[in-house]
Amino acid sequence: MGNVYSITLCDRDLHHVPDDIYKHHKHVAKLLLRRNNIQEIPPEIKVLTNLVELSLRDNLLTTVPIESIAAFSQLTWLSLASNMLTTLPDSFAQLQKLTSLDLQRNRFVTIPDCVFAMRSLTILLLQKNRITTISPKIGHCTQLVSLNLSYNRIQHLPVEMKECRNLQHLLLSVNSIQALPSVLCESWINLLNLDLHTNDLKSLPARLGGLKALRRLNVAINKIEEIPPSVGQLQLLEWLNLNDNKLVTLPSTMDQMQKLVKMGIVQNKLQTLPEALARLNLLYKLDCRRNEIEYLPSVFKDMQGIHSLLLEENPLSYRYGVSNYSRQPPSLLELAARAVLERYNPQDADSSTASVYSATSSPGSSSSPSPSITSNGAIADHAGIGISNLIPMMTDLGLAKASTLPPPAGSHAPSTPQKSRYNFFSRACATVHPLQ
């Protein structure tokens, strides 16, 4: 059979490890037995002393034999994910060259103690188990770069995690975590990605700004009422998700976050937005849907890089005069604002158009008539001021797509509503291309 370095027997409906593998034990460095029906690891596997990578994920394992694992002194990568394991033998501690350990989708209620003795471990995956506590011994894993404990039952983070100073990716979503200790923010100087969405956080630490290297922060679906001013110190942050919290205001220091590209603050209690956000030159998408925003500072009209501004389901009442349309195209903010409170009324439509009302106007008001958008997406100039010649091409404006407009008066509505290809954007979102 010659030299054998890798054996792959995935998706073979195997119920045991084939005996033929042991005949070539001196040459096997990689053994992949994913997605089979193996219920136990045979003692004979210990002869594979040169194994570097071993995958037994997606099988039916309930235990791991003590004597087998101790023999894998060269092992650097091990996956036992998607089995039915509840514990690991202490002999795992002898795997001193192991750098990656995947134990996700098992039945662990605690992190096995042997894991804390693996001093070379850089990647530890334990998501989707039943873990309720993190032992203070986690501080022994000083080489950890990526730690995933999402979808467990964790309530508290031990301060000993401050010793994990090499962490770059920490995923703790869908737990019951109540607080992020301030001391951790000062220690995780290399952290790039912090995911705490769907927990029980009521606040963020005052020293949040200590996470100087952070690129992504997700604290959506919590109970946070206030963002600390130190968030402005996250000057490398590119992506921020604050959706579904209880925020009433945002700190004015956010204008220091000049790398921010995408920000979500959906479903909070904001009544306005700080002018600081308008000074974020790289901000590409700002999602403010389902808040209580009544007013937007005029400085938002000067935002240069904004591409998607979502304001749907806000009681926006800031008035944008239509008299300016004859001099320059409306800004993205104006387009979004005019669409916020638009509600279709069949009595207001003729056979070809559906009117778009101003955010502050209603049918019958004395304000100048707003332009309407025809069923084919064209701009109808009801005011007679040359709007159709001046407004630039618009795309991704939900109101301007035939698939999202109600049928014209007198026509028959389809039995099943058509789905818009632009559901990613709200009806209050517009993409504006400059005039050529």
Confidence of residue 2 (pLDDT cuts 50, 70, 90): low
User: Of 42-51, 122-131, 310-319, which one has max mean pLDDT?
Assistant: 122-131
- Residue indicated by tokens 């990656």: 100
Confidence of residue 296 (pLDDT cuts 50, 70, 90): confident
1-84 maps to CATH 2.40.30.330: no
Confidence of residue 322 (pLDDT cuts 50, 70, 90): very low
Measured CA to CA in angstroms, residue 435 lies from 27, 54, 430 at distances of: 66, 58, 15
Confidence of residue 337 (pLDDT cuts 50, 70, 90): low
Confidence of residue 425 (pLDDT cuts 50, 70, 90): very low
Please report, rounded to a whole number, the percentage of residues in the chain having pLDDT higher than 90: 63
3-class SS at 143? Answer: coil
How far apart CA 62 and CA 111 sit, in angstroms, is 16
In this prediction the pTM is 0.76
Residue 341 has pLDDT above 70, yes or no: no
Confidence of residue 4 (pLDDT cuts 50, 70, 90): low
Residue 326 has pLDDT above 60, yes or no: no
Residue 187 has pLDDT above 90, yes or no: yes
Burial 28-46 (b: 16+ CB within 10 A, else e): bebbbbbbbebeebeeebb
Q: Where are the domains of the chain?
A: 1-84
Conformational region of residue 77, where left means phi above 0, alpha means psi within -120 to 50, and beta covers everything else: beta
Confidence of residue 333 (pLDDT cuts 50, 70, 90): low
Residue 82 has pLDDT above 60, yes or no: yes
Residue 209 has pLDDT above 50, yes or no: yes
Q: Read off the pLDDT of residues 137-177 as tens digits, 9 standing for 90 and up.
A: 999 999 999 999 999 999 999 999 999 999 999 999 999 99
Rg of the chain on CA atoms, in Å: 29
Residue 61 has pLDDT above 90, yes or no: yes
Cα-based torsion angle of the residue sequence 150, 154, 160, 162 in order, rounded to the nearest 10 degrees: 40
Query: Which run of H or E residues covers position 186?
Result: helix 182-187
Cα 384 to chain center, whole Å? 46
96 touches 74 (CB < 8 A): no
DSSP string, 12-23: S--SS--GGGGG
Of the listed ranges 22-31, 50-59, 276-285, 334-343, the least confidently predicted one is: 334-343
Residue 328 has pLDDT above 60, yes or no: no
